[in-house]
Amino acid sequence: MATTVARARPSSLDDPFAIHMAPPEGETPDERVLRIAAQQNAEKTSRQIDEVLQQSKKLLEKKEKDVKILLLGQSESGKSTVLKNFRLRFTPQYFDSERAAWRMVVLLNLIGSVRVIVNAIESELEAPEFSLVGDTHRTLCGELEPVIREEGVLNRLISPSHITGDVYVRPGGEWKSILASSEVAKNTAAVVISLRDEIEALWADTAVRELMEKKGISLRDGGGYFMDDVARVTAPDYLPTDGDILRARIKTMGIEEHFFEKETAPGTRGVKDFWIYDVPGSRGSRAVWIPFFDMVQAIVFLTPLSFYEVLEEDTRVNRLEDSVVLWKEICANPLLQNCQIILFFNKMDILKAKLKGGLIIKEYVPSFADRPNTYAGATGYFKEKFRAYHKRSSPKPRSFFYYETTAVDTRSTAKIIGAVHEEIFRKHLQESILI
pLDDT in tens, 179-197: 998 999 999 999 999 999 9
Q: Per mean pLDDT, which of 160-169, 207-216, 278-287, 417-426 is the most reliable?
A: 207-216
> What letter does residue 254 receive in the DSSP assignment?
S
pLDDT exceeds 50 at position 285: yes
Instruction: List Cα–Cα distances, 260 to 91, 272, 276, in angstroms.
Output: 8, 8, 8
Give this prediction's pTM.
0.75
d(CA 376, CA 373): 8
d(CA 52, CA 121): 60
pLDDT exceeds 50 at position 13: no
Query: 3-state DSSP: the chain helix, strand, coil percent, rounded to 5?
Result: 55, 10, 30
> Which residues, 6+ apart, have CB-to-CB distance to 382 below 8 Å?
305, 320, 345
Strand duo 298-304 + 340-346: pairing: parallel
pLDDT exceeds 90 at position 392: yes
pLDDT exceeds 60 at position 269: no
Residues making up the annotated binding site for Mg(2+) are 80, 252
Q: Which SS3 state, helix, strand or coil, does residue 154 take?
A: helix
pLDDT exceeds 90 at position 406: no
Please give the mean pLDDT across all residues of the chain: 82
φ, ψ for residue 240, nearest 5 deg: -65, 140
Q: What is the mean pLDDT of residues 254-278?
A: 67
> Which residues, 6+ apart, have CB-to-CB distance to 103 below 8 Å?
189, 233, 238, 239, 240
Q: Per mean pLDDT, which of 12-26, 280-294, 348-362, 408-422 is the most reliable?
A: 348-362
Residues making up the annotated binding site are 76-81, 246-252, 346-349, 407
Q: What is the mean pLDDT of residues 9-38?
A: 67
Q: Per mean pLDDT, which of 156-165, 207-216, 406-415, 421-430 is the most reliable?
A: 207-216
d(CA 150, CA 22): 67
| Model confidence band, residue 56 (pLDDT cutoffs 50, 70, 90) | low
Dihedral angle at the C-alpha atoms of 377, 378, 379, 381, nearest 10 degrees? 80
What is the structure's pLDDT at 58?
53
Q: Per mean pLDDT, which of 25-39, 59-73, 372-386, 405-419 is the most reliable?
A: 372-386
| Model confidence band, residue 11 (pLDDT cutoffs 50, 70, 90) | very low
Q: Per mean pLDDT, which of 123-137, 339-353, 407-421 is the most reliable?
A: 339-353
Residues making up the annotated binding site for GTP are 76-81, 246-252, 346-349, 407
What is the structure's pLDDT at 90?
82
* Straight-line distance from the first to the last Cα atom of the chain, in angstroms, rounded to the nearest whole number: 77
| Model confidence band, residue 221 (pLDDT cutoffs 50, 70, 90) | low
Instruction: List Cα–Cα distances, 261 to 52, 63, 86, 255, 274, in angstroms.
Output: 22, 12, 11, 20, 7
What is the structure's pLDDT at 271?
46
d(CA 198, CA 177): 30
Domains of the chain as residue ranges with CATH = 67-94+253-264+271-430 (3.40.50.300), 96-247 (1.10.400.10)
Residue 396's region, left for phi above 0, alpha for psi from -120 to 50, else beta, is: beta
Specify the higher pLDDT residue, 9 or 99: 99
pLDDT exceeds 70 at position 341: yes
Specify the higher pLDDT residue, 298 or 283: 298
